[in-house]
Homo-oligomer: A and B are copies of this chain.
């Protein structure tokens, strides 16, 4: 019996009739890529569109039995190639497991299946005055399971925490098909090792997440207040963001756009919209800041003073609508880049105090390779997204060379080569550089505890 026969029998007639198992070439082809643009060579063997935990168990048992690689996958919005279906693999798509099983307003948590889309969860939580904090840029289409698999970040992290801090407990199917539950429905709990935290960010290499108990936080009361400031250069903008933090102000959002980024947005939307929204012409660096909660207006006032004193031309949005227009300009950054070619979005993070140095390094690297590197930063937590625009099917070697320089600089500055996207395929060759040999060796051994046969997303994270 081959693996597909075995798997068909394990899934059962009903699942087969529902199309849970497919070898449709179009589906298989679509599963070879994600939003990074990287396409796996060769074709996956089949795709399991799981609807239940039992489907996931059947897939993993089949994979264990036949030593077939399994690639867990959600909405495919990853940016590191972590969920891409590789040659001969069984793609395990859990995006159809998308029920919200429980919302507890009292315990401020939700119990969800992994395929729930971020924005759907937040729509369901909103009537309770609660929200799920992780907010990757793809939140309209990304899933909670994908957030957990990558320990996703987003704009709100500096104030509201990364995904790890939003996960209380998990249900995971192990490589051999057993189901384990980790964590609790409580905020506190120290019984044994923190397996929950270990699975968060493990990119499908330790098990397949089939359920999560996540924290829901109270929606901050009142209207958010947004302000922005134009600076003569990116160093001044970075300095201004550092001073906001130093003033002990805690913005919900603080986004920094450098000159190449502003130029692209300006070309995409038209210079008039930039001038109208920013109250000044583009071409320099911009810092966008939003405060929420009961002291939003007072905080924005204090921040405005800081920004002015740092040499910024400041504009405070008069109302929510104007604030939304400022944010919309920031959101236009990725579409602006995508309109002129393929985009590689990089993702370094450095300590906040080293941001000016990192921006200086980006300028230097851009000049050295003759490649523009428009960059946006989540300035509140030092997470920078330098972007490369290219044409063709593959990232050019010069872009990778420039990215290599970026990664090494970030690590030298006390930071990391990935703040929130993950390692996947695209960054695995730098993993050991950042971790060092001893930590790398421990991680490989940890993986083998969970995955002795090496069937869980092989070639991802490790194995450059």
Contacts and interface: CB of A to CB of B under 8 A. Distances in A.
Interface stretch (A15-23, A228-236, A362-370, A435-443): A435-443
A131 to B, nearest CB: 11
Contact of A381 (B151, B187, B195, B446): B187
A425 interface: no
A187 B160 CA distance: 11
B418 A190 contact: yes
Given A180-B438, A181-B439, A461 B192 contact: yes
Contact of A190 (B151, B439, B449): B151
A358 to B, nearest CB: 11
A198 interface: yes
A185 interface: yes
Contacts of A179: 438
Given A182-B439, A194-B164, A197-B197, A349 B218 contact: no
Contacts of A242: 106
A96 interface: no
B129 A248 contact: yes
A99 interface: no
Nearest to A417: B191
Contacts of A294: 294-295, 298
B436 A189 contact: no
Complex copy number for this chain: 2
Interface string A371-383: 0000000100111
A162 interface: yes
A192 B417 CA distance: 11
B186 A381 contact: yes
A186 B382 contact: yes
Given A106-B353, A415-B185, A438 B192 contact: no
A179 B437 CA distance: 11
B414 A195 contact: no
A251 interface: no
Interface in A406-425: 414-423
Given A105-B246, A245-B106, A190 B201 contact: yes
Which of A104, A185, A246, A445 gathers the greatest number of chain B CB atoms within 10 Å? A185
A273 interface: no
A250 interface: yes
A180 B436 CA distance: 8
Nearest to A293: B295
B201 A153 contact: no
B438 A185 contact: no
A445 B435 contact: no
Contacts of A158: 187
Nearest to A129: B248
A450 interface: yes
Given A197-B198, A218-B250, A416 B184 contact: yes
A7 B107 CA distance: 52
Contact of A434 (B191, B193, B420, B447): B191
Contact of A446 (B104, B189, B193, B218): B193
Given A218-B250, A449-B442, A431 B192 contact: yes
Given A104-B353, A194-B201, A195-B442, 18 more contacts: A129-B248, A150-B190, A151-B190, A180-B436, A181-B439, A184-B416, A185-B414, A186-B382, A186-B415, A187-B349, A187-B382, A188-B420, A189-B419, A191-B418, A192-B440, A194-B198, A195-B439, A442-B449
